[in-house]
Structures are given as structure tokens and as C-alpha cells.
Structure 1
Amino acid sequence: MSKNIFERLQAGEAVSYSDPAHSEIGEAAERTTKLLIEFNSTADVEKNRKLWGKISGEALDPSSMIQIPVYVNIGQFTRIGKNVYINHLCSMLDMGTINIGDDVLIGPKVNILSEEHPVNPAERKALMVRPVVIKNGAWIGAGATILPGVTVGENSIVAAGAMVNKDVPDNTVVGGIPAKVIKKIDQSDRDNY
């Protein structure tokens, strides 16, 4: 059985825009865009939970909340855990998969990107993907960008405006462009809330 374009991408293949199967991406994005238009135009939380289930293929847990508007290009490769809060204007490119654990806070205007292009100009019109993982208890500050292949560690904080291009260790605060470790979160920090 041949793999679809998403399976090929997630298996590590760089797929060119001229690939005959590339239209599968456009079809999936169009389907998601239609659902997002409806999602982003209603304040009915229960209706949006159902719509998110149609977008991602997995129901949004009742303990989790997505503020509108939110943007996702495909949606079916985004997994959101329990007790997650995603603030408005979050943008997710998820063909490489985005896995958001439990008890995660995502600030406004955050970008989570699992897609990229080759550096070589002759190959740049190809698409490549790498998964993004945001572990339990993480907090992504306003305007931060998480790049492809990054894992944000458990209980870690990404400072507002940071650009994260490398894994974030558990229990650390990172900030800057590119993000660097600012401090370790110790037991006294964890006990203060």
C-alpha cells in the first residue's frame, strides 16, 4: 500500500511542490479552512469543541479551551491534552505533528511550526516536517515561536517573544532570539503556586 503525502512527510521525505500528490495538502487545507471560518466566527464554546473535533479528528477535552481566532493549516496532526489553555491568535502548522501535553498554557500570538523548507535554494520549494512536542505543565509566552523539531520540556517556560530552535530542558525558563536558558525552575518555584 502506498503512503499518502502526509505519511511520506512524517517519514522524513522532502516533498516538492511539483509532486503529483501535493494536491492532497491543498484539499486538506481547504477542508480545514472551511471549518476554521465557522470555528472563528462563533463564541459558542460547546459548538467550538465539536468543530475542533471535526478539524483535528479528536474531541477537545472539556477541561481545555481555545480562544478564537486560532489558525491551523491541516489540524488533523494536532493533539491537545487536558487542562490546556490556548489564547487568541495562536497559529499552528501541523503537518509534522504538534503534541501539546496536559496543563499547558499558550499565550496570544504564539506560532507553533512543524514545517520547513530545505536551506539549499535549488531544493527550497520542497516541504519537510519535524514534530513539535510541548510537554505537560509548559507555558509558552505571548508572541513566542516554536520551530520544527523542538520539544519544550515539562514545566518549562518560554518567555514572551522568544524564538525556540532547540529543545528546552524540563523545568527551565528560556528566552531571547534564539532562545537560551535563563534559569532553572527549582522546587521552591514549583511550590509557590
Structure 2
Amino acid sequence: MIKMELEKLLSKMEMEGVIHGGSEVNEAMVAVSDETRSLCTQLNNGVYTNEQIRHQVSQIIGRELDEGFSLFLPFTADFGKNIKIGKNVFINSGCRFQDQGQIIIGDQCLIGHNVVLATINHDYNPLNRGTMHLKPIVLKENTWIGSSSTILPGVTVGENSIVAAGSVVTRDVAPNTIVGGNPAKFISNLEDKIK
């Protein structure tokens, strides 16, 4: 197996935005993913305090988490090392993060049960289906992602916004709005709901 330094791998993934099947980058990504799956399995098959969960998730993402971070298990990350989490973030149970394209979660975000954050699209050409196209997902500060929602590659959810439960978000969400449905569409401005 070809070894590649993690920082070099992350840089190539961000700069190139594509991983070709069988490439050196693909092999390095798979090696990191193997380690992450093992860490997630360990996390999801034990009984831990909040502090222990924070420590284990910090190992998965390769960054220290603040004391306000909270996660209800189970949790799954495909790659792990391309997740950035702000302060006072809550992630409910059953979430799945496909983070090869990068997931950035701002301060004070709430993520409901069974949310999928997917940063990969496979190539449209059936002969190149093993090629992965990467685009980041950004959840700005104070966003609330409702249960069983899916956020697709390249989407930014603006600050303070709400994604209604069960939504499939295919494009950016404006700040201070509520969206819902499949595909998610504008429902209302946040100020119309605040009394």
C-alpha cells in the first residue's frame, strides 16, 4: 500500500476536488477510511461519558473539540479527518458524515437524528463511476438541521437557518431562512417565526 502524509492527502483532495479510482490519492484515502471505520466501531460499541465521547471523536477528526460539544451515538464518518467542528455543537444519534470533500460545522449548530452530510458525487460516466468528485458542505453558525435530512455536496447552509426534517438540500440555503422538502425549497424567513 502506498503511504501518503495526511496533510499532503488533504491538500490534494481540496485542490484537485477529485479522486480517481486506483490512484495514489484513492489508496491513501482508503487507508485513512479504514482507520476511521475502526475508530467509529469502537465508539459505537461502548458505554462512555460525554468527555470520553468528545475524546474519541477528537481522535476520529484529528482535532480537539471544545467542552460544549455533545454527540449521541451511534455516529459514522467515512473519512473523519476532513471534519471541522466549532464550539457548542450538538449532533444527535444516527448521523453519517461522508467528509472526503470537507465538512465545516460552525458554532452553536444543532444536527438532528439520522442526518446525512454527503460531500461526494460519483462520475456520471458509467465507465468512470469509481471516480469521486468532492465538494465541501458548510453549516454556518447557529444552523439547525432537522432529523433525517440529507445535505448534498457543495451546499452552504447560511447562519441561523433551519432545514426542516426529512429535507434533501441540493443548493445553498440563504441566512435566516427556513427550507424544507425534496428538493428543499424556501418556506419562510426566520423573522416571520420569531415572536
TM-score normalised to the size of structure 2? 0.90
Alpha-carbon contact 1:5-1:22 (below 8 Å) kept = no
Report what 1:93 is aligned to: 98
What displacement does 1:141 show?
Answer: 0.2
Alpha-carbon contact 2:82-2:99 (below 8 Å) kept = yes
Q: Pick the aligned partner of 1:24 from 15, 22, 28.
A: 28
SS of corresponding position for 1:170: coil
Distance 2:101 2:125 in 1: 20
SS of corresponding position for 2:16: coil
Distance 2:25 2:190 in 1: 46
Report what 1:107 is aligned to: 112
Query: For structure 1, which runs of at least 5 residues remain unmatched after alignment?
Result: none
What displacement does 1:46 show?
Answer: 1.4
Query: For structure 2, which runs of at least 5 residues remain unmatched after alignment?
Result: none
The alignment-based identity, stated in percent, is 36
Runs of 4+ in 1 over 6 A off after TM superposition: none
Report what 1:10 is aligned to: 14
80-89 or 44-53, larger mean C-alpha shift: 44-53
Distance 1:62 1:119 in 2: 42
- Between the two proteins, the alignment pairs up a number of residues equal to 189
Summarize deviations over 1:21-76 as a string: whole Å, max 9, x none. 42211210111112112211233221121111111111121111011100001111
Residues 188/125 of structure 1: CA separation in 2 closer, same or farther (3 Å cut): closer
Residues 20/76 of structure 1: CA separation in 2 closer, same or farther (3 Å cut): closer
Alpha-carbon contact 1:42-1:48 (below 8 Å) kept = no
What displacement does 1:87 show?
Answer: 0.2
Equivalence map 1:51-62=2 (5 Å): 51-62=56-67
Letter in 2 for 1:108: H
Alpha-carbon contact 2:17-2:101 (below 8 Å) kept = no
Summarize deviations over 1:132-191 as a string: whole Å, max 9, x none. 0001111000000000000001000000000001000000000011101011111761xx
Distance 1:13 1:142 in 2: 29
SS of corresponding position for 2:60: helix
Residues 159/121 of structure 1: CA separation in 2 closer, same or farther (3 Å cut): same
The answer to whether the aligner puts 1:42 opposite 2:47 as a matched pair is yes
Q: Pick the aligned partner of 2:128 from 95, 101, 123.
A: 123
What displacement does 1:120 show?
Answer: 2.4
